Structure 1
Amino acid sequence: MMSSSQTLSNPSLVLQRNEALFAEKSILVAGNIDDQYPIELQKMASSSTFCFNDYRYFEKLQNQLQDSHFTHNYSGKTDGSQFDLLLVYIPKAKPELEYLLANLTPHLKAGAEIVLVGEKKCGIKSVSSLLEAYAEQINMIDSAKHCSVIYAELSKAVKPFVEEKWIKDYQINLNDISLTIRSLPGVFSFGELDKGSELLLNNLPEALNGTALDFGCGAGVLSCYLLKQYPELTLDMVDINAYALASAQLTLAKNDLKANVFASDVFSKVDKQYDVLISNPPFHSGQKTNYEAAETFINQSKNHLKKKGKLIIVANKFLRYEPLLNAAYKTFVEEAADNKFKVLSCKG
């Protein structure tokens, strides 16, 4: 049992009540993993594989897990063997859960167990309905701490996974710049240009040059627009979400653009300074609102901004980033605002 000093999420606490499910089985674990419970699961299972789509937890746990992957598309064990049980921590976006099930069920044995765990507010009824494509019988086997555990056995034929079927394309036409954005489920603003990014792109400086970093790049909207608008820019794109990073690569390729795309927990893998830092900072984590990444980005941004460089962010009006910008830069400029969003900038 995990020590009390290591905080577990409510879904993991409910799983602790059902540990017999995992004993001596080959298990595949994926979804919204956001604590250290995988270490315990590894101890009780005969073998375990963990698929992380959040780089923060992959980075923390990869050295303590025998078989872990930061991936948007799991391709199976190297020896081709299949799993006895699939455990999925239910993600916030239903299309992402649907995608996960399609991607992972081909790696299960016939009759394998499927266990879903998540908070009730994620919509347990609609979640259960997604399992109807895989199982005849679907049951809620536990409910506690505002969470539920859903159980099923794989009894229906599983189709081979084809990633291309899950990619959604949409067009952006803004200020004489046309882009095709390619996006996988679970990526921010899936299938459309969000209003915050649109406000930012409509209020860019006349000239940007040198090197730029797009923090929380998502499907690559800001970066690809910048590369079209300022072809001389050299761009790095970072995100913690595996689906976002894969989508960004797809978007770059579709628009015949080039940038360096990599996973980083804010600046954890960033080791240089830039002329431009640009972001529509994320403030959601799983089912919760979480400002930590955006605050860390602002607080540490000056260390990664060249002298006379420029920080440009867009944020919801209710987010109080101004005190953070004042603390880091002494001053900031509100470049634009509407009834929902604001564009803020600082100079290095």
Structure 2
Amino acid sequence: MSLALNTLLYQIQNGSFHFGGGRVIFLNAMFHSDLSVLSDSDLTVQQHFKPYENALVQAGFTVQPDIPCDDGTYDMVCLLVPKNMVEARYFMARGLRLLRHGGALICAADNKAGGTRLKKMMHNFGVQDLCDDARNKARAVWGVVNDAREDEIEKALSVGAVQDILDGEYTSQAGVFGWDKVDKGSALLTQHIPQGLKGKGADFGCGYGYLSKFLLSHCPKIKQMHCIDADYRAVELCRKNLAYFNQEQQCVWRDLTQYDGGLKNLDFVVMNPPFHEGKKADLLIGQNFIETAYQSLRRGGRLWMVANNHLSYEHVLNRTFLACDKVYEGQGFKILSAQKLK
């Protein structure tokens, strides 16, 4: 449960923040049973992270992954502020563009994920009549938007927008994992994947498409690539970065910790699985990726993955695939490979 979300909704429930209904959008929303406090409004819900989107949909909400076009007609914007500063300012700027003159903005974040800087951020954007409340190790800040600072909004939108990175080799955006660099683990994996890969494969947790682009550039016998990520923005960026390849591509927004039967009979899977959700390390994410890979491969198909040395995936690979090979270990990483035998 999000402490920031608890803190935000508390302000509406107890009347600290006056909620007058009307047209409301919740950016970066997560499910909470008390979201019903917004049920009397014309509510739009946005979430780009598939597991959170799934929870909202299961609760009956209609969710869109993109932030809507700036139309200046919303009466209120609620925002769970991301930890990344560039991404946080971008979301806030997009939210301000959605508000009508005199509309209200309420934001919240955990204290260790930027909550203590919220009031200053909103003041710098020109939000007026600021109020705040700290509880649950999080902070909520709210105010009225009459004359927002357009120069600050434009700056935040420009820095946080989709943009070229790495000398124009890729397109990316702040907030996507490793958005402006080549991940060291992924780079190591490319040095050990055989260039004879062929047939139908998948890149689990594709990000902006670094591994997929490498494979399509160096393995000419690949006929089809499935590029899958839980971050909708990453999926769309990957689609752009692979657009000029002739091989068939399927860029899919999906939660790979849950096998849904959508992938079958793959010849290979490559992955650099995440091991954090928010602030907490979670080894279970990578373990579920491995199990989904096993279900998705054909008999004889092979998994190639990179992981930090301290992450113990070998026992899951041995249990699921019956055996695994450590192809490389060094520089804080290990390259693991396993073949589906049954």
Fold match (TM-score > 0.5) = yes
In structure 2, what is the equivalent of residue 328 of structure 1? 320
Q: Are positions 1:13 and 2:6 aligned together?
A: yes
For the structure 1 residues 165 and 297, does the alpha-carbon distance in structure 2 shift closer, same or farther, using more than 3 Å as the test?
Answer: closer
Q: Give 2:45's aligned residue.
A: 50
Compute the displacement of 1:37 (Å): 4.2
1:153 maps to what in 2? 144
Rounded to whole Å, the distance in 2 between the matches of 1:34 and 1:294 is: 22
Q: Is the 8 A contact 1:111 1:153 kept in 2?
A: yes
Following TM superposition, by how much is the alpha carbon of 1:220 offset from its aligned partner in structure 2, in angstroms?
0.4
Q: What is the aligned-residue RMSD (CA, Å)?
A: 2.6
| Runs of 4+ with deviation above 4 angstroms | 63-67, 157-165, 254-258
In the alignment, which residue of structure 2 is the partner of 1:40?
36
1:240 is matched with 230
The 5-angstrom pairing of residues 185-196 of structure 1 reads 185-196=174-185
Distance 1:128 1:247 in 2: 32
2:80 matched to 1:102? no
Aligned mate of 1:90, from 76, 81, 94: 81
TM-score (norm 2): 0.87
Aligned 1:286-301 pairs, distance under 5 A: 286-301=278-293
SS, match of residue 24 in structure 1: coil
Q: 1:115-194, aligned counterparts within 5 Å? A: 115-137=106-128, 139-154=130-145, 155-156=147-148, 158=150, 166-171=161-166, 180-194=169-183
* Aligned pair partner of 1:268 in 260, 269, 274: 260
Residue 22 (structure 2) pairs with residue 28 (structure 1): no
Check the 8 A contact 1:317/1:342 in 2, yes or no.
yes
Q: How many residues align?
A: 329
CA contact (8 A) 2:204 2:227 kept: yes
Question: Alpha-carbon deviations, 1:221-268, whole Å to 9, x = none?
Answer: 000110001133110011111221122122223778752101111033
| 1:230 maps to 2:223 | no
- Corresponding residue number in structure 2 for 1:214: 203
Q: 1:200 aligns with which of 180, 189, 209?
A: 189
Bigger mean CA deviation after superposition, 93-102 or 143-152? 93-102
- Extract unaligned runs of 5+ from structure 2: none
The offset of 1:139, in angstroms, is 3.7
8 Å contact kept, 1:91–1:286: no
Amino acid at match of 1:156: A
After TM superposition, the structure 1 stretch with the greater mean CA deviation from structure 2, 329-338 or 246-255, is 246-255
Question: Matched residues, percent identical?
Answer: 23
- Structure 1 residue 215 displacement after superposition: 0.8
Residue 295 (structure 1) shift: 1.4
In the alignment, the residues of structure 2 paired with residue 37 and residue 74 of structure 1 have an alpha-carbon distance, to the nearest angstrom, of 25
Indicate the residue corresponding to 2:276 in structure 1: 284
Residue 62 to residue 35, structure 1, CA distance change in 2 (3 Å): closer
Pair 1:269–1:128, CA change in 2 (3 A): farther
TM-score by length of 1: 0.85
